[in-house]
Structure formats: structure tokens, C-alpha cells
Homo-oligomer: A and B are copies of this chain.
């Protein structure tokens, strides 16, 4: 990829507030991995573990933490080099400004309100009463239901579905195929025929939220399913009806959160973690990958389940575990018997020489 931008190392040092080791006039035209970077590209050295790869690299310059030195080309040293990487990538690849206007194939209802600076892509459908804010980007095949609202600067990638009356804040990013506002899974179980509870609520998504590809966030039964400001959600995540997630949470791929659960601010859920319904996860709590809970988790608490093992060992342990509850009792009885023996042997006194 070449956006055509280029910078001298001196200019980059200035912008990144970096200490430059080497010539300030050298020009770089982009960022690339250590193993493919060319003489006109900058490569990133995450830490000392990549030192060997860095020394073999043909990169024209490096971006590295302060303790990574002795590299074979000029180096920008930053205390927080990962943050500097984000900054330098943004310099070389500034977010594209969508071209304002409505594609001729899009279907925008006469009763929808679309800001003149918004970009509506091919085959998009915007229903009556929907409101699309300034500089919003609506890609191909995006469906925006009746009376839905999308705040300033948000971007909806191809095939996103935003059901009627759901609301996205400002600068929200929704990746391809995500579905926001489908009916919650609300049924009254009945052997004759499960009875559907109409799902008439909505979904409300705060500013600066990012939602991954093919994730699903269900509308509430009543009220709103809500995602707090700045929360980031990965791909294929399921968020049930009436769930409330606080600000700044991080939800990894394939996590599932069942109905009406509440997650505090800054919660972190590892991949494939699961939260049962009506559970409260306190602010700042961390759930490890694949862990699951049916109970509340206290603020700041860190929980995990367990991890794979060699299959024979896993099978032996699995069988042994079935005898564990009995084992506890057996050991308790054994202790009593040993104690009795000790008493008898001691009482016997002089029996010991």
C-alpha cells in the first residue's frame, strides 16, 4: 500500500517526540514488518526479543523502545513505542474521508434525514425517519431501519444491519456483517409451543465504540441494550437483550453475554468467554479466554477456567476427578485413623526402645 505520503526521520522524531539515533534527512515512505521492509521503509521493533530479526532487516529506519539499541539503520527511540507506532501508522495512513453524497443505487426514503456531508454507498437502504449525521460513512448493502440514528463521523462497513429505532453515537465503527437490534431471544418455554415475548426495546451505542465483523447485539425487550462510550468489541461477539456494558470495556472475539447482564466500566473479556444471564461483572474485572460465569464477579477480580492438556492426560484427569469428592472423605477418615493409631502407639509408651 502506498498512500503517497513520505516523511523525513527528523520530522517523525518531532511529531513522535522521539530520540533519533542517525541521520535526520533520511526519507521514509511507509511502515512494514521487519522481514519485508525495504530501504525506504520504517520497521517496528516491539522489544528486545525481536533484536535478531531487526539486525537482519533491510529496513531504512527503525522505531524501537529506548532500550533497543545497536540497530543497522537510523532509529527513532520512544518510551512508549507501541503508541508511537499507532501515531506513525496514522501519519502514513490517515483515515480516508468518505466522498459526500448518496450513491445513485442507494434507496433513501424521502422521510429519512441524511446530512449533506454523509456518504451513502451502493445499494444502501435508509428507511423512513432514520437520521444520518455529518461525515457518516455508510457502505454498500448497509440497512438502516426506520427511525434509527447514526451520530457524526460514524462508519458502517458493508452489510451492516441497524434495525429500526436503534442509535449509534459519534465516531462509532461497525465492521462488515454486524447486526444491531435483532430480536432478543425471549420466549416463555412451553412444551406445547414456546411463546415469543415481543422485543420492542432498542440498542443504544455510545460514542467511539467499535463493533467487530459479524457480531450481533440484540434489542431489549423493553428499554435498551446499551454499550458504553469507548467500548471495543471484536468479531462474532453475541450480546443479548437488555445487556448493559459500561464505558471502555474490551470484549474479545466470540464472547457471549446473555440477557440482562451488566458489565462495569473497563471490563476485559478474553476470547470465547461467556457470561450467563442476569450476572453483574464489576468495573475493571477480567475474565480469561473461554471462561464462563453464572455468578457475579467483583470489581477488579480476575477469573479464569482452565487450559488444554495432552489428550491422554486430560482423559485420565477427567476420570480421576469423578472420584475426587469421595477422595476428600476417604482422606479425612484416613487422617482420623492415623491420629487414632498415633495416640495408641504413643499411649503404649515404653513400647518404643
Interface residues of A (CB under 8 A from B): 1, 31-33, 35-36, 44, 82-83, 85-86, 89-90, 92-93, 105, 107, 121-123, 125, 139-141, 143, 157-159, 161, 163, 165, 173, 175-177, 179, 182-183, 185, 187-189, 191, 193-198, 200, 208, 210, 212-214, 216, 218, 221-223, 230, 232, 234-236, 238, 240, 248, 250, 252-254, 256, 258, 266, 268, 270-272, 274, 276, 286-295, 297, 301-311, 313-325, 327-328, 330-331, 334-335, 337-338, 341-342, 344-345, 347-348, 351-353
Contact = CB atoms under 8 A, between A and B. Distances in A.
Given A90-B198, A175-B182, A218 B193 contact: no
A311 B288 contact: yes
Contact of A236 (B223, B238, B320): B238
Contacts of A345: 341, 344-345, 348
A163 B155 CA distance: 14
A32 B198 contact: no
A307 B317 CA distance: 11
A177 B175 contact: no
A212 B310 CA distance: 28
Contact of A223 (B33, B250, B319): B33
Nearest to A145: B158
A78 to B, nearest CB: 13
Given A125-B158, A161-B176, A236-B238, 20 more contacts: A33-B222, A83-B188, A123-B125, A161-B213, A175-B182, A177-B179, A187-B250, A214-B214, A214-B236, A252-B258, A272-B292, A289-B294, A294-B307, A297-B308, A304-B311, A305-B314, A306-B318, A334-B335, A334-B338, A337-B338
Contacts of A165: 1
6 A-B pairs with least C-beta separation: A291-B308, A89-B198, A33-B223, A303-B308, A179-B213, A348-B351
A239 to B, nearest CB: 9
A91 to B, nearest CB: 9
B294 A292 contact: no
B306 A322 contact: no
A59 to B, nearest CB: 11
A265 to B, nearest CB: 9
A205 B253 CA distance: 21
A15 to B, nearest CB: 15
Contacts of A323: 328
Contacts of A334: 331, 334-335, 338
A339 to B, nearest CB: 8
B317 A311 contact: no
A46 to B, nearest CB: 10
Contact of A232 (B35, B187, B214): B187
Contacts of A141: 123, 125, 141, 143, 159
Contacts of A325: 316-317, 319-320
Contacts of A293: 307-308
